Amino acid sequence: MPEGHVIHRLAAELESAFGGRTVRVTSPQGRFHGSAALLDGTTFAGAEAYGKNLFIEFGHDLFVQVHLGLIGKLRWVEPGVVQNPDTVRLRIETEADAVELRGPQTCNLIGPDELAAVVATLGPDPLRADADPDRGWQRVHRSGRTIASLLMDQRVAAGVGNIYRAEVLFRQRLNPDTPGNELSARKWRALWADLAELMPYGVRDGRIDTVREEHTPEATGREPRVDRHGGEVYVYRRAGLPCLVCGRAVSVREFEGRNLYWCGKCQRRR
């Protein structure tokens, strides 16, 4: 379940559990064994998120780059016993806390130069204080690609994924097919400001909530999405259900290999 908010939340949790402590580092699965052996017994120096990338520093200038991809998970577990070791790529633990990494797209031991190179490929991250939204705009306003495509491009806004894309486009009442070069600077700024407002809630709560008070299913009498867990959203995975604002059935279509959700009535305007 990884969009940027999850990664930032994990970075903070890792810091608070392991910061400054000597840690056990292993790869029960074996696929990261060589690197884990190098890190075992070192000091956990810090963890930081850039978009969907997590960088964990051990000792001095030894970084593990983690990217969860679509199915990867980093979970807190009981210290001591390892369940299903065959899928645990990386495990970090002290006497008090343990965390396990399964199914990551990336888990690499890198140095500061490689870290800088990865960060250089990323656009501004709405969750970072050092983000410069204008870097994203430079790409958007020169592009004939649609805003739906551009928002999934990590060079435009690092950390945004399929849920935040759908939700922020809905909240801004923006048609997903609007070409970047037809978007006004004002609309881009509003889009960015909305992401910068929404995503910290995701970090704080560990779930994505985007629905304003007056539009909740309780307030409107309309169905929430069927998923049992997860936050309250306007359109993501609500295809066929009535739009929480206008009542029209929410649309879905496959776009660039992913499901794109939107309301054909609220988001008519480009």
- Name beta bridge partners: 106: 67
Q: For residue 69, state whether it binds DNA (rule: CB under 7 A).
A: yes
Alpha-carbon span 250 to 63, nearest angstrom: 43
263: Cβ–Cβ under 8 A, 6 or more apart, which residues?
170, 234, 235, 243, 245, 246, 248, 250, 251
Asked if residue 30 binds DNA (CB under 7 A), the reply is no
Q: Considering the complex, state which of residue 228 and residue 269 has its C-beta at the smaller distance from DNA.
A: 228
Concerning whether 217 is annotated as a catalytic residue, the answer is no
73 belongs to the binding site for DNA (CB under 7 A): yes
187 as an active site residue: the answer is no
Query: Binding marks (x or -) toward DNA, 168..207, rule CB under 7 A?
Result: ----------------------------------------
Positive or negative, the CA dihedral 132, 135, 141, 146 is negative
52 included as an active-site residue: yes
Could you say whether residue 162 binds DNA (CB under 7 A)?
A: yes
Choose one: 91-99, 168-176, 227-235, 243-251; the region binding DNA (CB under 7 A): 227-235
| Residues lying near DNA in the complex (CB under 7 A) | 1-3, 6, 29, 51-52, 67, 69-73, 84, 87, 89, 102-105, 152, 154, 161-163, 208, 228-230, 237, 256-259
- Residues with catalytic annotation? 2-3, 52, 258
